[in-house]
Amino acid sequence: MRSQPFTYELPLSGGLPSVWDSHTTRRLSSMKGQYLDQAAYETMLAREDTLLYEVYEIKRPEAAGELLQGISFIHPGKVGDEYFMTKGHFHQILDTGEVYYCLSGQGLMVTETPEGDTQVLEFRPGRVLYVLPRWAHRSVNTSPTEDLVFYFVYPANAGHDYGTIEQKGFRKLVVERDGQPTVIDNPRWKPG
């Protein structure tokens, strides 16, 4: 791991960063129960365990004061009417925020607090999205053809709570209606 201040390049065209230490891939099988159209999910999974998104990270100690950084590529596609998206999470240390910088593509970020406030932010190339502490976040690629690519930075000790979202889902979903990305209430959202 680097022990001196360092630099690296993020192509504004949305290509790979000039350095990275880890490459994580998320496939359809890791999203069980997350998509509204379960039948479409099962049909698609039976055909292929499709690659949904990839994350390249710069390795840092998971210690207070450090910042974790990386780039995510969310590939285009849908499960039924619902766009490819990240798993979404709260931070384990709930009071930690995150900065996103959109490099290319288009999409929406769905956010919510444990108390039920919701907010949907739009990704656009060149736009910064700031996720406040306490807000769960999920990124959704609404382009039919292009990757959604963004850079992220967050406190290295924040950790991830994926379980809450896996159990309850987000209160809002992003689906295609009449060819347009549309935010709907999640009919399967459950408070328990």
**Closest CB 100 distance from Fe ion, rounded Å:** 9
Smaller CB distance to Fe ion: residue 45 or 55? 55
**Closest CB 71 distance from Fe ion, rounded Å:** 14
| Interaction site with Fe ion (CB under 5 A) | 98
**Closest CB 90 distance from Fe ion, rounded Å:** 8
Q: Using alpha carbons, select from 188, 181, 192, 159 the residue that is nearest to residue 85.
A: 181
CB-based contact 182:174 (threshold 8 Å): yes
Mention every residue, 6+ apart, whose C-beta is less than 8 A from residue 176: 78, 81, 82, 83, 142, 182
Give the tokens for residue 46.
């039976």
Give the tokens for residue 84.
């490819």
Smaller CB distance to Fe ion: residue 24 or 43? 24
Element (H, E) at 55: strand 51-58
Smaller CB distance to Fe ion: residue 28 or 136? 136
Distances (CA, A) of 72 to 10, 13, 53: 12, 13, 7
**Closest CB 51 distance from Fe ion, rounded Å:** 21
Smaller CB distance to Fe ion: residue 97 or 125? 97
